[in-house]
Amino acid sequence: MRVEILIDQEAKISEKVMAALSEQVKLRLSPQFEKFTLRIAKSSSSAVQITGTKSPDEHSAAMGILQSVWEDDSWLPE
């Protein structure tokens, strides 16, 4: 499975926040998905893509985990 999170460069997200996001996504996806590749980068627009899932249920589960990370701001660095 491949997870790609692109963040609009106009959003002014710091490298520290992007690193924290990466760690949090890895932490939450790892228990449910053994193998996955994660890419978080700045881009001209924001997007989230999950490819290489084995079923629609697996895709939905991964997307749900990403949504929970995004909605929970407790991982954000000070």
List the chain domain ranges. 2-71
Would you state the CATH architecture of domain 2-71?
Answer: 2-Layer Sandwich (3.30)
The pTM of this model reads 0.88
Order the strands of the 37-43 sheet from edge to edge: 37-43, 2-8, 47-51
6-22: pLDDT as tens digits: 999 998 899 999 999 99
DSSP type of residue 47: E
9-18 long-range CB contacts below 8 Å, 24 or more apart?
9/42, 9/43, 9/44, 11/46, 13/42, 16/77, 17/76, 17/77, 18/42
Backbone angles phi, psi at 13, to 5 degrees: -85, 130
44-73: pLDDT as tens digits: 999 999 999 999 999 999 999 999 999 998
* Distance (Å, whole) CA 3 – CA 25: 10
DSSP type of residue 49: E
